[in-house]
Amino acid sequence: MNKSSPIILALDTKDLDTAKSWISATNAAISIYKVGLEFFLKFGAAGIAELASAGDFEIFLDLKLHDIPNTVAGAVSSVAHLKPRFLTVHASGGSEMISAASTAAPAISITAVTILTSLSDGDVAQIGFAKGAKESAINLAKIATQNGARSIVCSPFEASDIRSAVGSTIEIITPGVRPLGGDLGDQKRVMTPHEAIKAGANFLVIGRPISDLAKISLSAMSDGAAEILDSLN
Ligand code: C5P
C-alpha cells in the first residue's frame, strides 16, 4: 500500500470478489477503500473481514448515520470493532448527535457529511435551510468540528472556504473529482484531482474514473490509479 496516497477508492459494487480484485489491482497506489451502504448492507462486517485478505489498507466506512444521539452512538459502537479510519455521519443530525458519535468511538475519525453534492441551492431551500448550499455546508462543517468530528466530506468547490472555517487539523475529503477529459457520469460540478488538493482537500474519493477501467482489464485499472496518483505530484 502507498500510505501517503490521498486517493480513496469507492468500492461501489455488490460483488465481493469484484471488490477484492479492485483492491489487489490498486493497492500499490491506494491505501484507503470506501465501503458504502450498497456493500455494507449486503455483506456487513463479515464482508469487510473478507476484504482484508485482498491487501493492506484502511476502511472508509460510509454509512452516513443520521438519527437521535443515543441511536447513532449505539450504531457507532456496533461498528467500532471494524476500526474504520473514517466513519460518516450527516452533519445535519446536529451538535448532540455528532458529539455522541465522537464520544462512542474516540479512536475513529468521525466524518461529517455537510450538504450532499447532489443537492442544488433550490433543493437546499426547499428542505428549509435559510442559506444556500455553500454557506450551509460551511456552517455545518463548523458545528460538526466543534462537536468532535475530525473530518469533513464536502464538494471540492467548498473545500477552500471550509478549510478557512475549520482550520488546518481537520481532514477534508472531497468526492466529485475527475481527471482531465474524464467521463462526468452523474457528477455535475467536478475538479481534477490536482485542483481539489490545491483547494484544500486532504483526501479524494474516486470511483468510476478508476473502477470503470476494470472493464478493460485489472492492469488498466492498476495503471489508471497510478497515473492519477502521479498527476498529484
Ligand atoms: O464514481 P464517482 O467517482 O462519481 O464516485 C464517487 C463516490 O463518492 C461514490 O461512492 C459516491 O457515492 C460518493 N459521493 C459523492 N458525492 C457525495 C458524497 C459521496 O459522489 N456528496
* From 205, 210, 211, mutation site for ligand 1 pocket: most ligand atoms within 8 A of C-beta: 205
Cell of 115: 450538504
Confidence band of 118 (pLDDT split at 50, 70, 90): confident
Compute, in angstroms, the gap from residue 204 CA to the centroid of ligand 1.
Answer: 10
If you measure from the C-alpha of residue 12 to the centroid of ligand 1, how many angstroms do you get, rounded to a whole number? 9
Residue 1 domain-assigned (yes or no): no
The pLDDT > 90 percentage for the chain reads: 88
Q: What is the pLDDT of residue 3?
A: 75
Q: Is residue 164 part of a domain?
A: yes
Per-residue burial over 64-98, b = 16 or more CB atoms within 10 Å of its CB, e = otherwise = bbbeebeebbebbeebeebebbbbbbbbbbbeebb
Work out which ligand 1 atom sits closest to the CA atom of 117: 21
* Residue 50 lies inside a defined structural domain of this protein: yes
**Quick one: pLDDT band at residue 66, thresholds 50, 70, 90?**
very high
158 part of a folded domain: yes
- Number of domains making up the chain: 1
| pLDDT classification of 188: cutoffs 50, 70, 90 | confident
Domain presence at residue 157: yes
Query: What residues does ligand 1 touch, defined as CB less than 6 Å away?
Result: 10, 12, 36, 116-117, 153, 175-176, 185, 187, 205-209
Asked whether residue 2 is assigned to any structural domain, the reply reads: no
Span of 86-95, 104-113, 130-139, 183-192 with lowest mean pLDDT? 183-192
pTM (two decimals) = 0.95
The whole-number pLDDT of residue 26 equals 98
Residue with cell 479512536: 107
What is the per-residue DSSP string for 69-125? HHHHHHHHHHHGGG--SEEEEEGGG-HHHHHHHHHH-TTSEEEEE-S-TT--HHHHH
Nearest CA residue ID for atom 8, ligand 1: 175
Residues classed as catalytic: 64
Please give the number of the atom of ligand 1 that sits closest to the Cα of 36. Answer: 10
Among 233, 179, 231, 229, residue whose Cα is nearest residue 26: 229
The minimum-distance atom of ligand 1 relative to the CA of 34 is 10
- CATH number assigned to the domain comprising residue 211: 3.20.20.70
Residue nearest to atom 3 of ligand 1 (CA): 207
Residue 42 predicted with pLDDT over 90: yes
Cβ-based neighbours of 147, under 8 Å, separated by 6 or more: 95, 96, 98, 99, 102
Which residues constitute the domain of residue 18?
A: 7-232
- Residues of 143-161 as b/e, b for ≥16 C-beta within 10 angstroms? bbbebbbbbbbbbbbbbeb
